[in-house]
Structure 1
Amino acid sequence: MPAPLPSDLSAFDWPAAPGWAGGGAGKGGGDDATAEEAAFRAGAALAHLHMVMARPDLPLALWRDRLALGAATANAGISGRREGLPDLRDALHLARPGDRPGPAGEIYRAWRRAVTRPLTLRALAPGLPGLPGAASDVVAPGLMRSGPPVARAAGMLETVLTEAPRAETAALILADAALARALGWDRIVPLLATELAPRDLRRDGEELRHACHRAVALAAARAAGLAQELTRGAARLRAVAPKLRARRAGEAVALFLTHDALAPAALRPMMSDRAARRLCDRLVSLGALRELTGRDSFRLYGL
């Protein structure tokens, strides 16, 4: 049976967001909210997410890594790729050292790098596919631009796509960087890519800002829900850690608290292959991890 959660459930008394904060229709269409209403919803959803991010029990690195996977999956679809979430996980985790993970895998790598780096063009640009070096002169000021956060993100999106129309990945990452910088966050929180539709990237001006407000309201609400889910999972993993007898099991647990998924081979610096597989299976049996692939071999594990 899964390990019980800690008895002090006050740790999970999350600040509740009003239902209307993440309102609106799904990705890309059908929302009849005015521009003013969409902006209001986005601001409310971001304020709630800001409070959620301040919780000390939230595994921030893991949360950002999981959000990066979702953003990369949506981004791949925007770029015309058919790979889904399991394909992107496989592209990254099953590749041998030096292997190229394919176009969709490169998108995922770019998002994973982005969520770990400072919010400067110098730090972000080396991992951004399709961004020409000449674009730096017009893109860099966008990170320092003043104005409302979502408007700054929309402006960045429009600037990059004007300079490099096929650089959707770079545009979306830099738009989220502009949003995070405007909000005083120290790293990217992937939001826009998950809710913008391909046709939204062809908009400009007020239409693009409206689409970005709608996308942020939806994405921030979902990111807050994911944060709550992962915080509960992290509490369960920490609760079962004392039951683990494997040598250096604590270090393995710490890795699972910072990564979306890991193969047992990722634990090799700490233990043998056999011990790593046994530890992962033990954590699954305790309800602290999930096996994410459904395969008999080349398995991946995560919260």
Structure 2
Amino acid sequence: MRKPHEQPGQAMPGPLPLPGWIARAAAEPLDAAAFRSGAALAHLALVAAADVPLPLWRDRLALAAAETCAAMAGRREGARALRDALHLTRAGDDPGPAGRILRQWSRAVARPISVAGLGRVLEEITPELIGHYLDAAGPTPVDRAAAVIEAVLADAPRAEAAALILADAVLARGWGQDHAVPLLSLAIRPRDLRLRGDDLRLACHRAVASGAAQAVSLAGDLSRAAARLRAVTPKLRAGGAGRAVDLFLSREALTPGALDFMSDRAARRLCDRLVALGALRELTGRETFRLYGL
């Protein structure tokens, strides 16, 4: 039943945006930055409880985090190139250095946080060390995440991506999530990772507040896009269309070939139909080797 204030065809509002004072970057002492990051995490907990497609949200954030980590590693690949490296590489083939970073992030956010799950993602770190990092101590989730970065990079100075994946996993646990949520990784700067002690903690608190603003904005966009996709689903006649919609609500990009429960022709027609209905976007701008997502 439609609520009185809703108009026919009107998109439902997404999660409330992060208040400006939380996201504001400023020269501030550690305690003030910690207050802002704590407020940001409290707001994010409300966002995660709203009508947001969380697997899709995490996967899209993973792409942004991978882009940050690729730049830290001296790679110039942007989001489009990273998507191509991951999605257009055959199963079992090497997607290349940047593609491996995105694959790590995508797999890290897809599974619940555990030593075994992260061990399959971070093959360069032993399960014993992963368990040690996940048990990091500190007064706040952000302080624990900073401790993880410091500890990982002390053991392996060039393992920036692994350090950030583990830090965001520890951070996510601290604000009540059972999956890693790329957040700190969205806004941390390469030079911040060389800081130690209170300087690193301050940088992490600031990065969390800034990353939260990006994550909340994305959650709103995806909430509205998911509503549009669900609204057109009854119009779809293709067999397997419901399964395809579920996949698009959990993955940030897919090739038609990923809909392997449909024929190739049917999958392509479904994707093009959803684009025509305004429920999907074609992400590459190409005529061939296309990728689709919300």
| TM-score w.r.t. length of structure 2 | 0.93
2:46 counterpart (47, 51, 56): 51
**Displacement of 1:136 after TM fit?**
4.5
After superposition, residues 161-240 of structure 1 pair within 5 angstroms as 161-240=153-232
CA distance in 2, matches of 1:133, 1:273: 40
The question of 1:109 aligning with 2:110 is answered: no
Distance 1:166 1:132 in 2: 16
Which residue is 2:3 aligned to?
Answer: none
The aligned length equals 289
Distance between the aligned counterparts of 1:136 and 1:262, measured in 2? 30
Q: What does 1:42-191 correspond to in 2, within 5 Å?
A: 42-55=37-50, 57-131=51-125, 135-136=129-130, 138-142=132-136, 145-191=137-183
1:35 and 2:26 matched: no
Paired position in structure 1 for 2:266: 275
Structure 1 gaps, min length 5: 25-30
Which deviations, in whole Å up to 9, do the C-alpha atoms of 1:200-227 show, x marking residues without a partner? 0100000000100110000011101100
Equivalent position amino acid for 2:117 in 1: A
Change (3 A) 1:301 1:6: farther
Amino acid across the alignment from 2:106: R
Equivalent residue letter for 1:49: L
- Uncovered stretches (5+) of structure 2, i.e. residues with no partner: 1-5
Mapped partners of 1:152, 1:236: distance in 2 = 39
Q: CA deviation at 1:38?
A: 1.5
> Which SS does the other structure have where 1:12 is aligned?
coil
1:66–1:260 CA contact under 8 A, matched in 2: yes
Percentage of pairs with the same residue = 57
What amino acid sits opposite 1:301 in the alignment?
A: Y
Note the C-alpha offset of 1:182.
Answer: 1.7
TM-score normalised by the chain length of structure 1:
0.90
How much is the aligned-residue C-alpha RMSD, in angstroms?
Answer: 1.9
- The whole-number CA distance in structure 1 between the counterparts of 2:64 and 2:287 is 25
Residues 141 and 46 of structure 1, relative CA distance in 2, 3 Å threshold: closer
Contact between 1:63 and 1:230, CA under 8 Å: does it hold in 2?
yes
Q: CA deviation at 1:133?
A: 6.2
Q: Are 2:15 and 2:47, in contact at CA under 8 Å, matched by a contact in 1?
A: yes
For residue 177 of structure 2, give the secondary structure of its aligned residue in structure 1. coil
Are positions 1:296 and 2:290 aligned together? no
Provide, for residues 13-43 of structure 1, a one-character-per-residue CA deviation record: whole Å limited to 9, x for no partner.
633432111111xxxxxx4122222112111
> Hey, what's the Cα distance between the residues in 1 that align with 2:156 and 2:235?
53
Query: Is the alpha carbon distance of 1:22 and 1:256 closer, same or farther for their aligned partners in structure 2, counting shifts above 3 Å?
Result: same
